[in-house]
Structure 1
Amino acid sequence: MKLTLFLLLFSFAMNALGQNVSLSGKITDERNNPLPGVTVRLSPSMLATQSDASGYFTFPHVPAGHYSLTFSYTGYRQQVVPVHLVGGGTEVNINLYPAPQELGEVVVAGDRTEFRKREESMNVEVVNEVYIRRNLGGSLMKSLERQPGIKTIGIGSGQSKPLIRGLGFNRVVVVENGVKHEGQQWGVDHGLEIDQFAASQVELIKGAASFVYGSDAIAGAIDIKPHPVPPKHTLGGAVDIIGKTNNNLYGTSLNLYGRKERWFFDSRVTRLDYADYRVPTSRVYVYDYAVDLKDNRLRNTAGHETNLHLSTGVVEEKYRSVFYLSNTYSKSGFFANAHGLEPRRVNTEEQDASHRDILMPYQKVNHFKLINRSSFSLPGHEVEAELGYQKNFRQEFSPYVNHGYMPPLYPTRMRTPQTLEREFEKQVYSLNIKDNMAWGRHTLAAGVNTEYQDNSIGGWSFLVPAFRQFSAGAFLYDKFTLNEHWLLHGALRYDYGKIKITKYTDWFNSDVQTQEGTVSQALVRADSLQRQFQSFIWSAGFNYNREKLQLKANLGKSFRMPIAKELAANGVNYHYFSYEKGDPGLSPEQSYQLDVSVTWTQPKWSVQLSSFYNYFPNYIYLNPTSRHDYYYGAGNQVFQYAQSSVMRYGAEFEAKYRFLKHWSTEFLAEYLYSEQLSGEKKGYTLPFSPPPTAIINISYEPQFSRGPKNTYFSLDYRLTGSQYRIVPPEKKTPASQVLNFSAGTTLRVSRQELSISVQAQNLLNTRYLNHTSFYRLIELPEAGRNIILSLKVPFTLLRHD
């Protein structure tokens, strides 16, 4: 009944909006060159948009009437044009002329970010490729970690997983080119298969975003935007070169793009190669066993990565269709002394012979992705559609280790290679359709999301069974302009999910006690299982915008269906020395969250405070029990998935102040508190709960009349508090202090621009522990001093103005 009502409301809105007319146009400069990124506001409707890479803008569905268009672009005179919409389509073409004093590019980026924040009631941060280049880490998630509320689970020097306000795994959605990225995100040791050189702009949504992105966005979303479409009649590209001292990384990324009138292409090839990384200690303890490190390097943490990207399509005034094809491949080692049932059985002489070789244990991951994004304008509607296919193929290799009733020698009859410990293959088909509409003061979006997964497994070890999963959701979102200062938001979404788990039987026999005596038989480790889930979720919020003040709040309910690991895991996790068991009776997670944010901006300073309160009636977590499994888990502690009510709250704070013309300072801080309110771990916090953190920054940005431009020198002093509120077997983590330095400039050498940046991470080579690190349980400190040098060389081969 509720679904029927929802569809009727959607149909009514579609029919009512058909009476609207379209308003479009092109914006050029004084030489008739297209101007991208111009802010266009339609008054008094309070609608706003920005021009695309070709200078075009459109308001596809506006009620007839008298309006005024305001065109704003940094460095150009603002223009206001009256328009009268009576029917059909109206086109307004305009030239903008430079203002007497032009401002720098950084202000333009800030204006776009400001526009996005003013329109959303959710907590949104936007970073561009300049920010990513200034903060290059071992992965895209590491590059974003400076943002308050964003943390990572580090996995060596080249892999990491995102955490938003202390929640990660299948509670954070990562979107690339409009489609949800699907890998093996349930694994602590499984990184994110994303090329950070291919990211143009990243939106960080902190807080419940399920009504937009679906079930897994219960903690937030990371939306990775593609590069803008190239200007017409151009051919060019860029070369990025990067080197790092800590793990002797060297790499390059080559970009080549081109466009005629309608058709364009954009391609990229990235190659990275790195050695074992260094830590500021010569000895670590793996569960009380002392492990000496040669040259302070973690043996077998080397790796390499190769990424290919191609986008191509057609762009017209009212229609565009773009195909995105990518393939990311990586091979990386696991720290040899922290993997398997017996970490002491490591041939250190073989492992230490070279710092660049990759021996067992190691993993190989290949992620293929093909996406089509299309959009077209209809009378009264702007329709967007994404169709995607992904294939994630992961293999983990390790020497065969028997336990329980496994045969002491690997049988020759087995088709699975003796070194293949685990194999996961996931194929994903996605379809998203969204219709953007305007009706008077209402800006509406309605859409559907569907996804089908086929997951198969292999290898001689078992942890998670094969499964198939289908999910679908439909949503309606309304943004209502009350007046020039108030925006009201409301959303309703219905989700349906179905998972079918395949029965798994051991490939070896075990002794089982029955009424007839001891029987040797193959054990069923996971029974066939089929579950269905559904839920209605909602969201409501507001924005209050004045010239200097921004106030926003959002209250919503989110939903997450249990994953296969939580329902049916039954095996040893060799990375964590644990035996993990699922619970087939788990109910879907429900979450209620309130977000409140206030921002005050002055010409020389700004302050932003974002706070949240979050309640889970039935949070799913991996509970460490007092039991040990000696038959099938080699004596490892048993961890059982369970549910409890959980309360969380926290805040992020940002303050910026420019105290001199070229000098500025910044203060960033975050705090999170979480507590389990029921269950066996009542009173405890949640795993991977980050401690309070603060960053004090000072920056110097000189300006030269000739020569270098965009020059900066920046020093970060990061203070991380202690984390003594833990969930066993987690260990308490002491406080730490770290210095990071960065600098950069853009030079012009014989008509060619060169952008150079350098970073010194952990400048003083401080020994400290990261509470959210994958290797925290074995007291492994973070990487030592790391000097990162990067060079970007853009080039133009052809351009017709």
Structure 2
Amino acid sequence: MRLTYCIAVICMLVLRSLVVSAQVAATGSIRGQVLADGKPLELATVALPGTALGTATTAQGYFELREVPAGTHELVFSSMGYQAQRQRVAVRAGQATEINARLVATPAALSEVVVTGVSRATEIRRSPVPIAVLTRREVNLNSTGNVIDAAVKGVPGLSAVTTGPNISKPFIRGLGYNRVLTLYNGLRQEGQQWGDEHGIEIDQYDIDRIEVVKGPASLMYGSDAVAGVINMLPRLSSEADGHVHGDALMEYQTNNHLLGTSVGLRYAHNGWQYGARGSYRLAQAYRNALEGRVYGTAFRELHATATVGVEKRWGSTQLTATLYDNLQEIPDGSRDSLSRRFTRQVAEGDQDDLKNRPLVSAPDLAMYRINPLHQHIQHYRLLSRTRWHLGNGELHTLFGIQHNLRREYNHPLAPQQAGLAVALNTYTYDVRYAAPTWLGLETTVGLNGMYQTNTNRDATDFPIPNYSLFDVGGYVFLKKTFGKLDLSGGVRYDTRVLRWPDFYVRLDSTTGWAQQVATSTGADPQFAAFRTTYRGISASVGATYNLSERLLLRANVARGYRAPNITEVGSNGLDPGAHIVYLGNRTFGPEFGLQEDLGLSAYLPDAEVSVSGFLNNIDNYIYQARLTGPDGQPVVVVPGNATYQYQQGRAQLYGAEVTVNLHPRAWPALAFNNSLAYVTGVNKEAALLEANGAAAKYLPLIPPLHTRSEVRLTSQRRWRRFTQPYVRAVLDYHAPQNRFYAVDNTETRTAGYALLGLGTGVGLVKGPSQREWLQLFLQLDNAFNTTYQSHLNRLKYFEYYASSPTGRRGIYNQGRNFNAKINLLF
């Protein structure tokens, strides 16, 4: 009832604002021509920042923006290979305003506008913290199992912990899970992020832009952003011509026979915008040269999105609803001890003989049907974003409702009985006011937070309690420019209240499984009642200095804050998908990280060069450790499952990223892009080091040194109906990881490997406007079918035997994969 009531209230408020705004609308239009080197510039982008209004120029360089609210606006002209230009324009109701632009060629992107992790729209080159942006085209260039993997391939310093091709958890500079905040159109993604067995509940076909902030962003978002922020921005309507536009995408991948399809529709007229998208993906188990198909890695995924919004003189508002439904198999890595073929669990408890499980047949490995041991994740999202013009200032509001239902089915003799079933409801709010600039000082104040409840449903395992969480934080952010120097900084204060009542569990005499009960006379609760309050102060101060027009120095110091998540504090049970019993610690305090960033960027005529380094010291760092008894042997709470208890100490991470992108003016078709990312994480807790020695020196889940080089040739001329044809070759090298968390064999050394990717693609245009109507992307990954294990692949440790006849342990990553993607635009 509470969820239904909140949805109804938000819908009423949004609809009321839409009706009121429609009555006071007054619009005009802007038209003109964009030139470069005295010639018309085709496909240049013309947009009004902060709105959904935008278009592309015709073959003659002409453009027109309709339904523009009357008033004074800043118009941005941009195109690949040219320096963006801003012009202020006054629009009168019922009239067309003429304006022309002349862009100056420059190989470096000197002023790309982003909004993630900062108080208001800013330029990448003027941000004191490293920011990376991936466009929809860059995402399409890479054949990936999910949107996080696409981002990893394009952003140095970004990595992912994976559990198969459809489950990826983002890590920024060696920190992940609840230390990286993932956003969907500005709304924090809340879907049991502490879990290992499911990925990001976002439709990758609907994402138009990915923005990544590397470094603490707690100032803007509060807890869970100590490592950085990833914002997934959906595609919005940019045409306002009163016609329906859209796209239909089809994708096929050979390795796991992935089939993907997505259809999106957009319509805009008289300031109103509508959008809808439906996407569906299904895949069989993936394969590699060593093991063949890997049992338990098939999936089936459905997405649906609907959006309505309005853009008027007073501002804009938008209401978005999304649905995510995922059936995902759960791998466990059980095999025949001699042949190393995968086996299937068919019994439980004493009846489950690991050494005599039946082999999985070849037909069962090569099918789209989901096996009985799987997880079912459903995520529903309702998001309202509104922007009001208040004089020369702006007020931004965001309200969101999310419902996440996660069920894991792990009983082979009772496949309909969930082993884990948790329902998470999250109500998010964010209010931000960007005050008018006063004496060159930009001031932003904000308040945001969330209210969250978690409920265990009919299940047999209960790893976390039924809890409620209330989060609130307020901040102020200031920015001022002194000639070539930009200074920015702010401070924030957060409060989080976490609590749960007594939670009793007892065995059901009929089924033999545990069940939740209201009371248990004479028995201790599995989760005793608990209440605590976490508080934290976040702050940052940063500067960018333009040594010259093309050389920029940046520095930033930030204090990040993260309250412990529910599993770190309250867990006391088996997570059946992970095969781990987690034990929390109620005495934990918040994590606090102090990070220093220093970077140098050079925007040269024929190249872009960027070097950035960081040092991050974390107090109260939370990590997992295998629980051992007085005899030094591992404690077994549930037979066949490991037992881990969370610990807290001090840690330090440091590293660097380097990019060198060559774009020679003498050969504009050529792009030679290179990047390097390195991070090391070390424990600083004396007691842990004293007890375990060198085995505890390094932190877990630290990616090895990674380099990536891409050579791309893109035709700058159109050939008949073909536009932007390209060919590319990409070499990814991951060095051996010899610095790992070796306590209790939690991690082991990982060998280095190199992967070669090849790709090509082209667009087709038609009609007098030469509008692009088809895009084709072909990509071959792991061209040599290399057998390898990523250090951040959780399947590497899915092994039941102490030794293997082949000398290889765990599950290996995906082999050669050819991807074909066709996108029809209309």
Structure 2 equivalent of residue 569 of structure 1: 571
- Whether the aligned pair in 2 keeps the contact of 1:629 and 1:635 (CA below 8 Å) is no
Of 776, 783, 792, the match for 2:814: 783
Equivalents in 1 of 2:273, 2:109: separation in Å?
25
Change in CA separation of 1:26 and 1:79 when aligned onto 2, cut-off 3 Å: farther
Structure 1 equivalent of residue 147 of structure 2: 140
Q: CA deviation at 1:157?
A: 1.7
Equivalents in 2 of 1:330, 1:666: separation in Å?
36
Change in CA separation of 1:186 and 1:531 when aligned onto 2, cut-off 3 Å: same
Is 2:551 aligned against 1:544?
no
Equivalents in 2 of 1:480, 1:161: separation in Å?
36
TM-score of the two chains, using structure 1 as the length reference: 0.83
Q: CA deviation at 1:776?
A: 1.8
Q: CA deviation at 1:635?
A: 6.3
Aligned-partner residue type, residue 445 of structure 1: T
Is 2:282 aligned against 1:273?
yes
Change in CA separation of 1:90 and 1:496 when aligned onto 2, cut-off 3 Å: farther
Structure 1 equivalent of residue 513 of structure 2: none
Deviation per CA, 1:157-210: give whole Å up to 9, x if none. 222111111111111111112211100110111211111111111110010000
Equivalents in 2 of 1:761, 1:559: separation in Å?
39
Deviation per CA, 1:290-341: give whole Å up to 9, x if none. xxxxxx1012321111100011021112321110110011101112535998
Structure 2 equivalent of residue 413 of structure 1: none
Equivalents in 2 of 1:346, 1:112: separation in Å?
57
Structure 2 equivalent of residue 621 of structure 1: 623
Equivalents in 2 of 1:167, 1:731: separation in Å?
19
Structure 2 equivalent of residue 129 of structure 1: 136
Q: What SS does the corresponding residue of 2:152 show, helix, strand or coil?
A: coil
Q: Which runs of 5+ in 1 are unaligned?
A: 1-23, 41-47, 63-68, 283-295, 402-409, 411-416, 511-518, 796-801
Equivalents in 2 of 1:620, 1:61: separation in Å?
51
- Whether the aligned pair in 2 keeps the contact of 1:27 and 1:51 (CA below 8 Å) is no
Structure 1 equivalent of residue 448 of structure 2: 449
Of 221, 225, 229, the match for 1:213: 221
Is 2:726 aligned against 1:712?
yes
Q: CA deviation at 1:654?
A: 0.4
Structure 1 equivalent of residue 400 of structure 2: 388
Change in CA separation of 1:547 and 1:630 when aligned onto 2, cut-off 3 Å: closer
Deviation per CA, 1:690-749: give whole Å up to 9, x if none. 000101221112234433211111111111111122213111101111111121110236
Equivalents in 2 of 1:625, 1:50: separation in Å?
53
- Whether the aligned pair in 1 keeps the contact of 2:420 and 2:575 (CA below 8 Å) is no
Of 356, 359, 362, the match for 1:348: 359
**Number of aligned positions between the proteins:** 717
- Whether the aligned pair in 2 keeps the contact of 1:276 and 1:299 (CA below 8 Å) is yes
Structure 2 equivalent of residue 321 of structure 1: 317
Structure 2 equivalent of residue 286 of structure 1: none
Structure 2 equivalent of residue 21 of structure 1: none
Change in CA separation of 1:746 and 1:631 when aligned onto 2, cut-off 3 Å: closer
- Whether the aligned pair in 1 keeps the contact of 2:286 and 2:814 (CA below 8 Å) is yes
Equivalents in 2 of 1:59, 1:620: separation in Å?
53
Q: CA deviation at 1:575?
A: 4.1
Change in CA separation of 1:73 and 1:247 when aligned onto 2, cut-off 3 Å: closer
Q: What SS does the corresponding residue of 2:225 show, helix, strand or coil?
A: coil
Equivalents in 2 of 1:72, 1:269: separation in Å?
32
Aligned-partner residue type, residue 729 of structure 1: T
Equivalents in 1 of 2:387, 2:610: separation in Å?
35
Structure 2 equivalent of residue 671 of structure 1: 678
Equivalents in 2 of 1:770, 1:643: separation in Å?
27
Equivalents in 1 of 2:699, 2:796: separation in Å?
15
Q: CA deviation at 1:771?
A: 0.6
- Whether the aligned pair in 1 keeps the contact of 2:52 and 2:236 (CA below 8 Å) is no
- Whether the aligned pair in 1 keeps the contact of 2:45 and 2:77 (CA below 8 Å) is no
Change in CA separation of 1:70 and 1:134 when aligned onto 2, cut-off 3 Å: closer
Change in CA separation of 1:71 and 1:386 when aligned onto 2, cut-off 3 Å: closer
Aligned-partner residue type, residue 729 of structure 2: L
Structure 1 equivalent of residue 195 of structure 2: 187
Q: What SS does the corresponding residue of 2:597 show, helix, strand or coil?
A: strand
- Whether the aligned pair in 2 keeps the contact of 1:74 and 1:103 (CA below 8 Å) is no
Deviation per CA, 1:350-406: give whole Å up to 9, x if none. 6853522211310111100001101111124200001110000111001169xxxxx
Deviation per CA, 1:216-253: give whole Å up to 9, x if none. 10110001223234322231111111000000011110
Deviation per CA, 1:561-595: give whole Å up to 9, x if none. 11111112122344444332111000111110011
Q: CA deviation at 1:661?
A: 3.5
Deviation per CA, 1:629-674: give whole Å up to 9, x if none. 7673226443211111111101111001135332231211100011
Structure 1 equivalent of residue 794 of structure 2: 774
Structure 2 equivalent of residue 312 of structure 1: 308
Equivalents in 1 of 2:504, 2:754: separation in Å?
50
Mapping of residues 673-688 of structure 1, within 5 Å: 673-682=680-689, 683-688=696-701
Aligned-partner residue type, residue 730 of structure 1: E
Aligned-partner residue type, residue 539 of structure 2: W
Structure 1 equivalent of residue 584 of structure 2: 582
Aligned-partner residue type, residue 524 of structure 1: P
Equivalents in 2 of 1:93, 1:442: separation in Å?
34
- Quote the sequence identity (%): 24
Structure 2 equivalent of residue 739 of structure 1: 756
Change in CA separation of 1:694 and 1:73 when aligned onto 2, cut-off 3 Å: closer
Structure 1 equivalent of residue 425 of structure 2: 427
Q: What SS does the corresponding residue of 1:252 show, helix, strand or coil?
A: strand
- Whether the aligned pair in 2 keeps the contact of 1:300 and 1:355 (CA below 8 Å) is no
Equivalents in 1 of 2:361, 2:320: separation in Å?
42
Of 738, 761, 765, the match for 2:781: 761
Structure 2 equivalent of residue 170 of structure 1: 178
Q: CA deviation at 1:418?
A: 6.2
Q: Which runs of 5+ in 2 are unaligned?
A: 1-26, 35-42, 55-64, 115-120, 335-344, 510-519, 690-695, 799-809
Structure 1 equivalent of residue 211 of structure 2: 203
Is 2:536 aligned against 1:535?
yes
Structure 1 equivalent of residue 299 of structure 2: 303
- Whether the aligned pair in 1 keeps the contact of 2:53 and 2:239 (CA below 8 Å) is no
- Whether the aligned pair in 2 keeps the contact of 1:70 and 1:78 (CA below 8 Å) is no
Q: CA deviation at 1:61?
A: 11
Structure 2 equivalent of residue 593 of structure 1: 595
Structure 1 equivalent of residue 17 of structure 2: none
Q: CA deviation at 1:680?
A: 4.5
Q: What SS does the corresponding residue of 1:526 show, helix, strand or coil?
A: coil
Aligned-partner residue type, residue 419 of structure 1: Q
Equivalents in 2 of 1:370, 1:509: separation in Å?
38
Deviation per CA, 1:24-79: give whole Å up to 9, x if none. 99743249xxx995589xxxxxxx989943579999999xxxxxx89754499998
Equivalents in 1 of 2:28, 2:485: separation in Å?
28
Q: What SS does the corresponding residue of 1:439 show, helix, strand or coil?
A: coil
Equivalents in 1 of 2:575, 2:145: separation in Å?
25
Structure 2 equivalent of residue 28 of structure 1: 31
Change in CA separation of 1:747 and 1:121 when aligned onto 2, cut-off 3 Å: same
- Whether the aligned pair in 2 keeps the contact of 1:396 and 1:420 (CA below 8 Å) is yes
- Whether the aligned pair in 1 keeps the contact of 2:410 and 2:419 (CA below 8 Å) is yes
Deviation per CA, 1:412-441: give whole Å up to 9, x if none. xxxxx8631101110011111000122121
- Whether the aligned pair in 1 keeps the contact of 2:174 and 2:680 (CA below 8 Å) is no
Equivalents in 2 of 1:70, 1:258: separation in Å?
22
Structure 2 equivalent of residue 259 of structure 1: 268
TM-score of the two chains, using structure 2 as the length reference: 0.80
Equivalents in 2 of 1:442, 1:776: separation in Å?
52
Equivalents in 1 of 2:237, 2:660: separation in Å?
34
Equivalents in 1 of 2:267, 2:68: separation in Å?
22
Q: What SS does the corresponding residue of 2:792 show, helix, strand or coil?
A: coil
Q: CA deviation at 1:109?
A: 10
Change in CA separation of 1:496 and 1:90 when aligned onto 2, cut-off 3 Å: farther
Aligned-partner residue type, residue 648 of structure 1: L
Equivalents in 1 of 2:756, 2:325: separation in Å?
33
Change in CA separation of 1:527 and 1:230 when aligned onto 2, cut-off 3 Å: same
